[in-house]
C-alpha cells in the first residue's frame, strides 16, 4: 500500500522545496526607509554613506596632523615678521599676535608664552625651523588636496604635477593665513567690542563672513575639479559656519578637555588638546566637502546600510582614490 504524496505549495513542482517566507524588515530597515522619505534626512544619509566609502574621517585626521606640524613654525615666522615690520609698535604687535592665537582658544595664551621670535636664534635653529616650515606646509597642502581629490573622485593621473601644484600649495597657505588672522580679529569684537550687547552679534556675523570666504577660497585653490557647473558655496557655507560656531563655544569645549588631559598628561595636555581642536576643524571641513558633492551630483537618496545598493546616480568609483603618500608628485 503506497503512501499518498504530500501536497505541494502553490507555484512549485513536485520534488522542489517551497521557498522560505521573506524576512520581515527590522527596525533598522524601517528607520532607514523613514530617512529616505524626506529630503534633509535623505541628503544627510547619503553624506554619511559617502563619508564611510571615501574614508573621509581618516583623511581628515591626516590633515589635522599635518596642520599640527605646520602650526609651530608658522607661529615662529609670524612672531618674527611682526617684530620686524611693526618694530616700536608694541600694541600693534600684540593685536596681530592675539588675532592669530584666538583661533586656538584657551591654549593660545600658553602657546604665546612658550613661543618667541627668531631674532636672537642661531643660524642652525633658523635652518631647522625653515625646513620644518616647508615640510609642514607642503604636507598640509598635500593632505588637503588628497582629501578634496578623494571626495570629488578625481583620479590620481588627473592630479597636477609638483611644478603646477606648488603655486596652489602656496596660495592655499596664504588663504589660510589671511583668513585665520582676519577671522581672529573679527571674532574678538564679540569679546572686546565697544558696541554693548550688539558686540557679540556683530563679531559673530563678521567672523562668519570671513570664515566662509576663507573656506570657499581654500576649496577653490587647493584643487581644480573639471566639472561643468560645479559650485563650492554650499560646502564653504557649512564649513565656515561650523568653524565660526566652534570659535564661539571654544571656552566650554577646550576647558573641559584641558582639565581632563592635564590630569593624565600634565604639561603635554596643551599639545594633545591642540591636535584635538585642529581635528575638529578638519572633520567639519571634510563633512562640508562631502555635502557639496552629494548635493551637486544628486547622490541621494541612498541607504545607510552598507549592503544596500546605491539608489542615486553617482559618478564615484571605489578604488580610484589618490594615494595619500605625501611624497608623491601631486
Residue 205 C-alpha cell reads as 556675523
Q: Say how many domains are in the chain.
A: 1
Report the pLDDT value the prediction gives residue 79, as an integer from 0 to 100. Answer: 75
Residue-wise pLDDT for 32-77, tens only, equals 888 888 888 899 999 999 999 999 999 999 999 999 888 877 777 7
Inter-residue contact 270 to 110 (CB < 8 Å): yes
Is residue 89 in some structural domain?
yes
Report the pLDDT value the prediction gives residue 4, as an integer from 0 to 100. Answer: 53
Residue 170 C-alpha cell reads as 602656496
* Measured distance CA(298)–CA(42) in Å, rounded: 11
For the stretch 185-189, contacts whose Cβ atoms lie closer than 8 Å and that sit 24 or more positions apart, written own/partner, are 185/95, 185/99, 185/102, 186/210, 187/102, 187/244, 187/247, 187/248, 188/98, 188/99, 188/102
Residue-wise pLDDT for 168-188, tens only, equals 888 888 898 888 777 766 665
Tell me the average pLDDT across 83-104.
73
Inter-residue contact 241 to 212 (CB < 8 Å): yes
Look-up of cell digits 524626506: 38
Report the pLDDT value the prediction gives residue 57, as an integer from 0 to 100. Answer: 95
Is residue 282 in some structural domain?
yes
Dihedral of CA atoms 23, 25, 28, 29 in degrees, nearest 10, equals 120
Is residue 32 in some structural domain?
no
Residue 318 pLDDT level (bands cut at 50, 70, 90): very low
Inter-residue contact 278 to 61 (CB < 8 Å): no
Residue 319 pLDDT level (bands cut at 50, 70, 90): very low
DSSP 186-198: HHTHHHH-SSTTH
Is residue 129 in some structural domain?
yes
Question: Taking the CA of residue 275 as centre, how many other CA atoms within 13 Å lie in the half-sphere pointing to its CB?
Answer: 10
Domain that holds residue 84: 40-296
Is residue 24 in some structural domain?
no
Helix (H, G, I), strand (E, B) or coil at 221: helix
* Measured distance CA(300)–CA(119) in Å, rounded: 55
Residue-wise pLDDT for 108-125, tens only, equals 666 666 565 555 666 777
Is residue 140 in some structural domain?
yes
Residue 329 pLDDT level (bands cut at 50, 70, 90): very low
pTM of this structure: 0.76
User: What percentage of residues in the chain have a pLDDT greater than 70?
Assistant: 68
Task: Report which of residues 200 and 127 the model is more confident about.
Answer: 127
Tell me the average pLDDT across 75-103.
74
Residue 196 pLDDT level (bands cut at 50, 70, 90): low
Is residue 90 in some structural domain?
yes
Is residue 178 in some structural domain?
yes
Amino acid at each position: 500500500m503506497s503512501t499518498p504524496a504530500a501536497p505541494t505549495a502553490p507555484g512549485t513542482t513536485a520534488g522542489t522545496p517551497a521557498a522560505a517566507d521573506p524576512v520581515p524588515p527590522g527596525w533598522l530597515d524601517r528607520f532607514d526607509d523613514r530617512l529616505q522619505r524626506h529630503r534633509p534626512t535623505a541628503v544627510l544619509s547619503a553624506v554619511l554613506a559617502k563619508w564611510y566609502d571615501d574614508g573621509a574621517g581618516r583623511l581628515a585626521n591626516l590633515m589635522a596632523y599635518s596642520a599640527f606640524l605646520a602650526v609651530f613654525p608658522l607661529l615662529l615666522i609670524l612672531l618674527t615678521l611682526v617684530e620686524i615690520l611693526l618694530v616700536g609698535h608694541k600694541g600693534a604687535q600684540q593685536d596681530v599676535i592675539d588675532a592669530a592665537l584666538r583661533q586656538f582658544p584657551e591654549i593660545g595664551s600658553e602657546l604665546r608664552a612658550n613661543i618667541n621670535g627668531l631674532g636672537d636664534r642661531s643660524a642652525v635653529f633658523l635652518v631647522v625651523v625653515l625646513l620644518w616650515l616647508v615640510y609642514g606646509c607642503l604636507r598640509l597642502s598635500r593632505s588637503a588636496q588628497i582629501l578634496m581629490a578623494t571626495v570629488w573622485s578625481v583620479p590620481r593621473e588627473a592630479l597636477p604635477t609638483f611644478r603646477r601644484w606648488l603655486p596652489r600649495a602656496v596660495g592655499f597657505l596664504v588663504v589660510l593665513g589671511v583668513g585665520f588672522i582676519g577671522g581672529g580679529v573679527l571674532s574678538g569684537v564679540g569679546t572686546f567690542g565697544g558696541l554693548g550687547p550688539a558686540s557679540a552679534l556683530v563679531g559673530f556675523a563678521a567672523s562668519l563672513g570671513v570664515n566662509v570666504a576663507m573656506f570657499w577660497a581654500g576649496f577653490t585653490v587647493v584643487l581644480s575639479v573639471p566639472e561643468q557647473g560645479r559650485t563650492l558655496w554650499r560646502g564653504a557655507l557649512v564649513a565656515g559656519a561650523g568653524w565660526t560656531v566652534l570659535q564661539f563655544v571654544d571656552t566650554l569645549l577646550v576647558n573641559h578637555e584641558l582639565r581632563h588631559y592635564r590630569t593624565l598628561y600634565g604639561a603635554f595636555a596643551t599639545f594633545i588638546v591642540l591636535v584635538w581642536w585642529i581635528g575638529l576643524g578638519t572633520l567639519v571641513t571634510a563633512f562640508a566637502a562631502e555635502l557639496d558633492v552629494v548635493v551637486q551630483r544628486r547622490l541621494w537618496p541612498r541607504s545607510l546600510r552598507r549592503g544596500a545598493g546605491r539608489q542615486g546616480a553617482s559618478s564615484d568609483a571605489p578604488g580610484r582614490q589618490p594615494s595619500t603618500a605625501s611624497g608623491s608628485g601631486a
